[in-house]
Amino acid sequence: AAQLPDFTQLVERVGPSVVNIRTVEKSRSASSNMPELDPNIEEFFRRFGIPIPGMPDSRRGPRGGEEPARRGVGSGFILSADGFVMTNAHVVEGADEVLVTLTDKREFKARIVGSDKRTDVAVVKIDAGELPFVKIGDVSKLRVGEWVLAIGSPFGLENTVTAGIVSAKQRDTGDYLPFIQTDVAINPGNSGGPLLNMRGEVVGINSQIYSRSGGFMGISFAIPIDEAMRVAEQLRTTGRVVRGRIGVQIGAVSKDVAEAIGLGTPRGALVQSVEKDGPGDKGGVDAGDIILKGDGKDVDKVGDLPRIIGGTKPGSRSVLQVYRRGATRDVTLTVGEFEVEQTARRPSGSGPSTPSTAAALGLTVSDLDEARRKELGVRGGVQVDAVEGPAARAGLRAGDVILSIGQHEVTDSKQFADLAARSAKERSVSVLVRRGDWTNYLVIRPGR
């Protein structure tokens, strides 16, 4: 039988590179009789977004005055001998003062070099030299089932070591980055500490846990170190992160929609709206397109596209492969710089005209006038005036605009009625629907 791993030498070697981080935040407009909370408990409330008991609006009271300092705790690790330290952005967020304590009990006041909320990565700097620093590992070589180790300060207990295995890689939790999932015990205070492989190399930053109780329940998540280092390099160089953007809002492609439009397996990112005059609009991306590739990289799920585009230098040319009405095509555009995403302007609605009934689908539709088409930024389409039966069950509503049916672009109500009649015997019919700023496929089942 294989022996269980011995972590002792690894901890002795890497432990001095791991630091404890305490933050101080001075708030104002609080009453003087507010009680002080234990820093570890306060970190717990801040990390999971739980209101602090007895302290509405983060201790802001009705009268002015200086409040006792709020304190937070976390972990970090030294990147270089001259004092650059990596941690989580949420550990240092809002801090007026950051204190870094080494394993030899030396304490330094740190300067925040840069922080990126989108990836939850931050870099701070302490004025010290000849410091022990970590070695960065190769995440691509990390295997599910491999032993990994965490060192940090859970609940302020410095240099605490916990171990487990890699449970999954590329775990998509809806955040900007895919995570490494482990069963290593992680608790408040571990945030920002390193996840290490058996060679003593950092492969991730411990960042999140899944919990119904607030405590560790066997599932924790770490930011892959390769992604974190890309962010850290920009923070160290410029103090901020520059990302690409194409000015579209996207959603997932469901199994029903993929089958109904002939895509087969659910993959790609569905374009739900396109920012007017944005990079995607200028490049020819349409609402309803499904983006399958970005610069040759597969978009297997919706979260892949922001990572691909975000890693593209603004101003560079990018080629997207899109699926549109039954065929794939390439769209070339110039990537913009990510600042604050804008959304398409919500249309203001206009009166219907020329009603037409597509009885088999349960729809009554009318033509869009030229002003409404211009307002929506569409070439054709029909407005839904009433729904019943199959259309109602599919989720269509009065006021929706139908842009396509099956693989056919809708031009007017008469053409739509002809297409609907031909689709009446189909098991399922896909329609591309515009609702406000939102564009999505819905699947109507006429026989049900």
Instruction: Give the integer Cα–Cα distance in Å for 375 and 343.
Output: 14
Instruction: Give the integer Cα–Cα distance in Å for 295 and 267.
Output: 16
Instruction: Give the integer Cα–Cα distance in Å for 328 and 105.
Output: 61
Q: Which amino acid is at 99?
A: L
260-296 CB burial, b ≥16 within 10 A, e <16: bbebeebbbbbbbbbbeebbbbbbbbbbbbbbbbbee
Q: Which amino acid is at 308?
A: I
- Residue 435 CB contacts under 8 Å (≥ 6 apart), including other chains: 397, 399, 400, 401
Check 191, 273, 423, 430 and give the catalytic one: 191
Which long-range CB contacts under 8 A does 298-302 form with residues at least 24 apart? 298/267, 299/267, 299/268, 299/269, 300/267, 300/268, 301/172, 301/252, 301/267, 301/269, 302/250, 302/251, 302/252, 302/253, 302/268, 302/269, 302/270
Contact of 164 with 217, CB cutoff 8 Å: no
Tokens of 350: 């206009």
Contact of 437 with 273, CB cutoff 8 Å: yes
Of the candidates 87, 99, 122, the one whose C-alpha atom is nearest the C-alpha of residue 194 is 87
Check 17, 27, 75, 120 and give the catalytic one: 120
Check 17, 27, 75, 90 and give the catalytic one: 90
Active site residue 191: yes
The residues annotated with a catalytic role in the active site are 90, 120, 191
